[in-house]
Structure 1
Amino acid sequence: MDKDKELERLVDKMMEEAPLETPSSNFTYVVMQEVTKLQQSMAEYKPVMSMQSILIALGMLGIFGFYLFTTNSATTPAEGQVIQLLSDAKSWFSTKMPQLQISKTFSYMIGAIGIMVCFQAFVLKRYFNKRWA
């Protein structure tokens, strides 16, 4: 008990001798500037894919789709036939859609890619939630 009282007196004496620290006059301003910088760096939006890569992918997809619908197993259509097919969209879809055949391997590949994309989205969401929390 005596040791505790002596220790308490010693701490009280040291606290009386220590000067009271006060922050500088622009302390709040400096802190708010740092908070603003931190918020700006965290809220910066960076797209996963650039616009150029999206346009290239859409162009390639369009070319592939155009090739898929305009090619025939026996012959390829001439320029006039392609323009005629494009101008008559209703008959174009009705005549070309039955010819479109997708193999099982291709459908399995599309399904696997879809599952992988969903899984990666789930994993990345958890990662970023943990990182920013």
Structure 2
Amino acid sequence: MESDKELENLVKQMMDEVPLEAPSSNFTHLVMQEIQLQKSSVRYKPLLTKTHLMLTAGIIAVLLLYGFMDGSGSQLTSGAYWEFLMNTRSWFSDRIPELQFSKTLSYTVASIGIMVCFQALILKRYFNNRFA
């Protein structure tokens, strides 16, 4: 107990000796200038650049084209290739009935859709209550 009082007296004496510091007259102005500099230095850049997006789109296009080609291994010449692409009615309508999805995939897609809708409703209510 005695040592605590001695410590308190020592701290009080040291605090009395040290004068209070006062900010300069233009302190607020200097702080606001610093904030403006920090705001102007922030640059937003996308996660995926245009090159990445174009590369991804190209890969998806090649994979889709490969998926719609028949498995006979026949090579399309440049003229036949354009004719094949322009005649969309035949290859598109012929290939769509061949698509089959398993029940597991169907249930998964339906479950994810329901969860997304449910979460959207909950988040909407949360943010309405928070900002109202």
Q: TM-score, normalised by structure 1?
A: 0.48
Q: Which has the higher contact order (CA 8 A, sep 6+)?
A: 2
